[in-house]
A and B are shown apart, each in its own frame.
Chain A
Amino acid sequence: MIEFLCTVQEGCIPENMRPELEKAIQNTSVEILGIAKGPFSISWAEIPRDFGFRGGKPTTTSHVRGQIPDGCDKETRERLMKEIGERWYDITGQTEDELIVAARDEGWKGNTIKSN
Chain B
Amino acid sequence: MPLYRCIVPKNSLDYGQRQEIAEAFTNVHCGISAAPRSFVHVWFIESGKDDKVKDSHGDGFLDYKTDYYIAGGNRAGRPPEVRKEILGGLIEKFCEISGADRENVSGHISEGPASWTMEAGHILPEPGQEPAEWYEHETIPG
Contact = CB atoms under 8 A, between A and B. Distances in A.
Mutual binders A and B: yes
Interface of A: 5, 7, 9, 12, 47, 50-61, 63, 65, 74, 77-78, 81-82, 85, 95-105, 108-116
Interface string B12-53: 000100110011011100000000011111111110000000
Given A51-B43, A102-B116, A109 B58 contact: yes
A58 B113 CA distance: 27
Contact of A100 (B44, B57, B118): B118
B49 to A, nearest CB: 19
Interface of B: 1, 3, 15, 18-19, 22-23, 25-27, 37-46, 54-59, 70, 73, 76, 80, 83-84, 87-88, 91, 105-113, 115-121, 123, 138-142
Contacts of A102: 112, 116-118
A54 B91 contact: no
Given A98-B141, A111-B110, A113-B83, A5 B118 contact: no
Q: What is the interface of chain A mostly: helix, strand, loop, or mixed? A: mixed
Contacts of B84: 113
A77 B116 CA distance: 7
